[in-house]
Structure 1
Amino acid sequence: MGDVEFVVEGPVRRADVPELCERLADLVRERGARVVAVDARGLGGPGADAVEAVARLALTARRLGCEPRFARMDPRLLGLLGLLGLGEVVGEAEEGEEPRGVEEGVDARDPPL
């Protein structure tokens, strides 16, 4: 059990997404992965097909008990995901929230609310 890398080769069209998810699922099951690093540069720029691919790949990994971590994503796609409220899918924090895996520190000298 451990980490695995999954490379998305593009360009990705909507019709490619089910096969991508199936390949990801096979890899995660085969390796017993707990974390999958998704090299997302093959997704290209912002668009509906790329957004669907990101969302469905993340969902596929999570359904298998595996944490997806996206890397090398086009900044414009990352921005679009944030605008759509899907930034958390790729590990970005929503405005005013701590990033996933980071907890706000508490100062013992702070009075209770």
Structure 2
Amino acid sequence: LHLGTMGSDPVEVIEAVRDEVAVIRPPEWHRFPHAFSHIFAGGYASGYYSYLWAELLAADGFMAFVEAGLLDRATGDRFRAEVLARGATRPAAESFRAFRGRDPDPRAMLVRHGLVDAQG
């Protein structure tokens, strides 16, 4: 699937994706893009930001392991002590800061999505 060669018609795009990955095809008359209203009506849109925030924390947290050579006992011990063992006894942002020694940096997530170069 190469979406870059497609137009901007949402139905055309979703049909191309379905051609490649759908296990069960919905009926021809079904127009999912026209019915995806929960994100716009009902207050759910703000919840999507929590997914991005969790992804940012995961990507930046994983970079601690990458920077330490991936399989580093001290980094694993610090993650266990500052994040896993603490659980919900303190805010996640505080646990992240205790683990990484700084505030979250979105760069790792941007690299993961190909939006910035890993070196630059």
Which TM class, normalised by the smaller chain length?
A: under 0.3
Higher strand share: 1
Structure with higher RCO (Cα < 8 A, 6+ apart): 1
- Report the TM-score when normalising by structure 2: 0.25
Determine which structure has more spread, i.e. the larger CA radius of gyration.
2
